[in-house]
Amino acid sequence: MNPKQRKRLKKIIKTHHQIKTNSYIDQLTDYRNLFDAFPPVKYLINNVLESNRLLQNGLLPQPLPKLLLPDNIQDSIFAAVQAKYPADDPAGDKIWNRYVAALPKLDQLLRNYRDYLESTYGMWSYTNSLFIKQLSQLVNGQPVLEVMAGNGYISKGLKNLNPEQTIFTTDSQDWLDENETGKHPVTTIEPLDALSAFDKYKATVKFVIMSWAPDKQLTDWQLLQAIRTSNEPIKLLVIGEQNGATNSKQFWQNVHIVTSEQIDHINEQFSSFDLINEQLFQCE
């Protein structure tokens, strides 16, 4: 493929991606108008729209509720339609059919919000403002190294709360050609893989933060071994889903998870908005 063809193809892909992401928010906005009379549904949609608005403005989003439609939503809609229209009124049948046809599509949109975050902002872990506040309290101003930082949402959030804190933000940037990870940095990212970053900063930091390590690589397990064999009193904080969407099997099979009341309290409020149960772990 010659350079001109490659440039044209990239432009087509970029345009398609923009239409796709805009369409997601546009659809949710339309459904918010459609379900305006049903507060539980409107509440979920408004939470997603507000989360997106904050991210668009360079701010960390708020925590989200479970983005699942109520089990009884069809019953609620049926009761509302019955109360407004006589049983034999075609207008009632029409609006009922419109609601019923929309529900599966809306349900899918809500369930796909994490996909939207990944494809639009390169955000994998849902780095919300409350979690960052609690994480900042946990590390208590001590020097931090973030590895696999992606676009740097965690480091940026910590730095905003404590501008004097020493934070080294690093990422190998291996994913630049595959997705949005690293393409929209919110802070300065040093191009280092996790092991190189640890080797460089291990004598300086007290915490290493690793979020959403890939499940098909062994870098997380190699990093854990490097921390274990170092002579530095460093705590490894891992954000992800145990034995699930993140980190390698070797990591979860060999890690020792340290429990504490503070981390348990953080995880009580770090409830996931979808079926991925991401949590905070202190690992040894």
100 and 55 in one domain?
yes
pLDDT at 3 over 50: no
Segments forming the whole domain that contains residue 247: 129-283
Assess contact for 69 and 100: CB atoms under 8 A: no
More confident residue, 73 or 9: 73
Give the side-chain half-sphere CA count within 13 A for 56: 10
Give the side-chain half-sphere CA count within 13 A for 79: 7
Number of domains making up the chain: 2
109 and 157 in one domain?
no
pLDDT at 243 over 60: yes
pLDDT tens, residue by residue, 22-53? 699 999 999 999 999 999 999 999 999 999 99
93 and 31 in one domain?
yes
106 and 15 in one domain?
yes
H helices of the chain, in order, are 3-34, 39-56, 73-84, 90-111, 113-121, 129-139, 153-161, 194-201, 219-229, 249-254, 261-269
* Domain final residue, candidates 82, 98, 120: 120
Residue 237 forms beta bridges with which residues?
Answer: 209, 282
165 and 91 in one domain?
no
| Cα-trace Rg, the chain | 22
pLDDT at residue 87, as a whole number: 85
The pLDDT of 5-28, averaged and rounded, is: 56
Q: Give the separation between CA 33 and CA 147, rounded to whole angstroms.
A: 42
Assess contact for 101 and 107: CB atoms under 8 A: no
CA distances 26 to 22, 48, 100, 103, 163, Å, are 6, 12, 19, 16, 37
H helices of 127-188, in order, are 129-139, 153-161
144 and 8 in one domain?
no
pLDDT at residue 11, as a whole number: 41
100 and 133 in one domain?
no
pLDDT at 186 over 80: yes
pLDDT at 193 over 90: yes
160 and 114 in one domain?
no
pLDDT at residue 173, as a whole number: 85
191 and 74 in one domain?
no
Residue 26: partners with Cβ closer than 8 Å, 6 or more residues away: none
pLDDT at 247 over 70: yes
Give 231-235's long-range contacts (Cβ < 8 A, gap of 24+).
232/202, 232/203, 233/206, 234/202, 234/205, 234/206, 234/207, 234/208, 235/206, 235/207, 235/208, 235/282
pLDDT at residue 21, as a whole number: 56
* Domain final residue, candidates 97, 120, 143: 120
pLDDT at residue 183, as a whole number: 67
CATH code where residue 169 lies: 3.40.50.150
Give the side-chain half-sphere CA count within 13 A for 18: 6
pLDDT tens, residue by residue, 203-231? 999 999 999 999 999 999 999 999 999 98
pLDDT tens, residue by residue, 99-135? 999 999 999 999 999 999 999 999 999 999 999 999 9
Q: Give the separation between CA 165 and CA 63, rounded to whole angstroms.
A: 24
pLDDT tens, residue by residue, 274-283? 999 999 999 9
141 and 277 in one domain?
yes
Residue corresponding to tokens 């915490």? 207
Residue 207 forms beta bridges with which residues?
Answer: 144, 235
Number of residues assigned to the chain: 284
Q: Give the separation between CA 27 and CA 46, rounded to whole angstroms.
A: 12
The pLDDT of 226-249, averaged and rounded, is: 96
pLDDT at residue 88, as a whole number: 85
279 and 151 in one domain?
yes
- Residue 55: strand, helix, or coil: helix
Both structure tokens of 182: 């690293």
More confident residue, 249 or 174: 249
164 and 100 in one domain?
no
* Domain final residue, candidates 86, 120, 154: 120
The pLDDT of 241-269, averaged and rounded, is: 97
pLDDT tens, residue by residue, 138-182? 999 999 999 999 999 999 999 999 999 999 999 988 765 555 555
More confident residue, 3 or 57: 57
